[in-house]
Amino acid sequence: MNIAVVGAGYWGPNLARNFRTNAAWNLAAICDLDIERARAVAESVGGAPVTDSLSDVLNDPLIDAVAIATPARTHHAIVMAALEAGKHVIVEKPLADSRTAGLEMVERASELRLVLMADHTYCYTPAVLKIRELIAEGFLGDVLFVDSVRINLGLIQPDVDVFWDLAPHDLSIMDFVLPGGLDVTSVSAHGADPLRTGKSCVGYLAMPLVGGAMAHVHVNWLSPTKIRQMVIGGTKRTLVWDDLNPQQRVSVYDRGVDIAEVSKATASDARAANISYRLGDTWAPALHEGEALAGVVTEFAAAIHEGRTARTSGGAGLRVLSVLEAATGSIKAGGAPQSMATASMKLEVAR
C-alpha cells in the first residue's frame, strides 16, 4: 500500500524510515510545510517524493493511508480531512488536543469504515508485549495496583504541561496491558510549577480502576535522574518493568500479600487471621530485541488488510485523551477527583 508521512519534524523521520523498510508499504510521499526539511528526510531514507501541499497528498487516489506526525493541536483538522479523502490514518500521540476532537475523529473513521490507529509506540516494545501476555494468561493474578514513574531533566514544552507530554506513554501502556483497558472511575491530579513557567512541570496522577485496583503516575521534567519504571502488583505475583535496564527490562517477583486461611478463633491477632506474606523467587523472561515502531507499521497494515480494529486503535487513543482531559480539570479544581463516564472510557470502535 502507498502511504504518505505528514510532518518531517521530530517523529516523522522515524515513521518514514520504518515505512520505507516494511514490505507491506511503499513510501509514496513526505509532506511538510518546510520543503527543505521534507527533502532532508527523503534523502535520509533513500529517496521519496516530497511536497508542501497536504491537499496534493489527500487528492492523490493512489495514496491509501497517511501517517500524521504534527503537533497535537493540528491532528483534528488533518485527520478529518484525510478520512474524508478516504485514507486510513495513523496519528502520533496524543490523538488530539481535546476529547471532543478525538471523539469526532473516532466516530467519523467508524462511519467511513476506515482504520484510525494511535501510534502508541511503547505498546509494541518486546517488554510491553510480554507484560500484556503475562497479565492476559493470569500469571500475575488479579491486578491490585499499577505504579508508574517517568521522570527526567527534560525540555519544558511550550504548548503542553508535563502531564500531556509524558503521561500519554504510561497511560497507553496501561490501556494496552490491563484487562478491559484503561477503565477508570475517576481522576485526581496535582501539578506544580516551581519554575513559574506557566504550566505544571511536576505532576502526580491517581486513578481508581474499575474492580478496586489503583493506578498512579508520576511525571517530572525537573529530575536530574532519568527513570522509566512501572510496577504492576497482582494477587499472585508482582511485575517490574525498567525500560532503562536493557539486561533485565522485565522482572517478576513471586512476592506479595496473601489472604491467609486461618481461623479467626485460633489466630493470635486479627491481622494474622487475614494476611500472610509470600517471599518467593524472582524471574526475568527472555525478550527478543526489535524496534517497536516496526511493529507499529506492521500492525497498521494488518488492521487494514484484515478489516479489523488496530490493537492501539482510535478508541485506545480516546481513552488516554479522556484521562488527560480529566487530569487538567482536576488541577483546575485544586486536585479534586473528576468522575469519568464509564461508557466513554469503554469506547472501542470496530470497523
Mean pLDDT for the stretch of residues 235-248: 94
The CATH number covering residue 13 comes to 3.40.50.720
Is residue 144 domain-shared with residue 277, that is, in the same domain? yes
Is residue 114 domain-shared with residue 127, that is, in the same domain? no
Burial 282-315 (b: 16+ CB within 10 A, else e): eeebeeeeebbbebbbbbbbebbeeeebbbbbbb
What is d(CA 101, CA 78) in angstroms, rounded to the nearest whole number? Answer: 11
What is d(CA 146, CA 174) in angstroms, rounded to the nearest whole number? Answer: 8
What is d(CA 133, CA 232) in angstroms, rounded to the nearest whole number? Answer: 13
Of 11, 18, 350, 322, residue with least CA distance to 174? 322
178 φ/ψ angles, rounded to the nearest 5 degrees: -80, 135
Mean pLDDT for the stretch of residues 75-89: 98
Mean pLDDT for the stretch of residues 54-70: 97
pTM of the predicted model, to two decimals?
Answer: 0.89
- Expressed in angstroms, the distance from the first to the final Cα of the chain is 19
Is residue 41 domain-shared with residue 141, that is, in the same domain? no
* pLDDT attached to residue 180: 86
Give yes or no for residue 258 having a pLDDT over 80.
no
Burial 32-59 (b: 16+ CB within 10 A, else e): beeeebbbebbeebeebebbeebeebbe
* pLDDT attached to residue 269: 60
* pLDDT attached to residue 266: 53
Amino acid at 273: A
* pLDDT attached to residue 272: 56
Q: Residue 1 corresponds to which cell in the numbers above?
A: 500500500
Note whether 156 and 276 are within 8 A (CB).
Answer: no
Is residue 241 domain-shared with residue 96, that is, in the same domain? no
Label the pairing between strands 202-208 and 214-220: antiparallel
Supply the range of the domain harboring residue 151.
Answer: 123-292+321-345
Mean pLDDT for the stretch of residues 322-343: 88
Mean pLDDT for the stretch of residues 290-317: 96
Look at 114-118, 167-171, 338-342 and tell me which has the smallest mean pLDDT: 338-342
Q: Which residue has the higher pLDDT, 258 or 170?
A: 170
Amino acid at 174: M
Q: Residue 269 corresponds to which cell in the numbers above?
A: 491477632
Domain-embedded: residue 147 = yes
Share of the chain above pLDDT 70, in %: 92
Whole-Å CA distances, 29 to 54, 58, 62, 338: 10, 11, 11, 43
- Structural domain count, the chain: 2
Look at 78-82, 170-174, 182-186, 305-309 and tell me which has the smallest mean pLDDT: 182-186
Is residue 114 domain-shared with residue 164, that is, in the same domain? no
Is residue 237 domain-shared with residue 111, that is, in the same domain? no
Is residue 108 domain-shared with residue 221, that is, in the same domain? no
Domain-embedded: residue 91 = yes
Is residue 190 domain-shared with residue 207, that is, in the same domain? yes
Q: Give, as one character, the DSSP assignment of residue 313.
A: B
Note whether 6 and 119 are within 8 A (CB).
Answer: no
Is residue 176 domain-shared with residue 281, that is, in the same domain? yes
Mean pLDDT for the stretch of residues 160-175: 95
How many residues are given for the chain?
Answer: 351
Mean pLDDT for the stretch of residues 26-40: 97
pLDDT band at 268 (very low <50, low <70, confident <90, very high): low
Look at 3-7, 201-205, 208-212, 347-351 and tell me which has the smallest mean pLDDT: 347-351
Amino acid at 121: T
Could you tell me which residues are beta bridge partners of residue 3? 27, 65
Domain-embedded: residue 298 = no
Domain-embedded: residue 351 = no
Domain-embedded: residue 220 = yes
The residues near 74 (Cβ < 8 Å, ≥ 6 apart) are: none
* pLDDT attached to residue 351: 32
Is residue 154 domain-shared with residue 35, that is, in the same domain? no
Residue holding cell 478463633?
265
Give yes or no for residue 267 having a pLDDT over 60.
no
Give yes or no for residue 113 having a pLDDT over 50.
yes
Instruction: List, as one string, the DSSP characters of 204-263.
Output: EEEEEBTTS-EEEEEEESEEEEEEEEEEEEESS-EEEEETT-TT-SEEEEEEEEEE----
Alpha helices in the chain (DSSP H): 12-21, 35-44, 54-58, 72-84, 99-111, 126-136, 162-177, 292-306, 314-332, 342-345
Mean pLDDT for the stretch of residues 318-344: 87
Mean pLDDT for the stretch of residues 280-301: 92
Note whether 69 and 9 are within 8 A (CB).
Answer: yes
Q: Residue 128 corresponds to which cell in the numbers above?
A: 510491553
Is residue 7 domain-shared with residue 23, that is, in the same domain? yes
The CATH number covering residue 338 comes to 3.30.360.10
Mean pLDDT of the chain: 91
Note whether 188 and 341 are within 8 A (CB).
Answer: no
Amino acid at 212: G
* pLDDT attached to residue 346: 44
Give yes or no for residue 162 having a pLDDT over 60.
yes
Is residue 115 domain-shared with residue 177, that is, in the same domain? no
Look at 32-41, 246-255, 302-311 and tell me which has the smallest mean pLDDT: 246-255
* pLDDT attached to residue 260: 58
* pLDDT attached to residue 155: 82
Domain-embedded: residue 297 = no
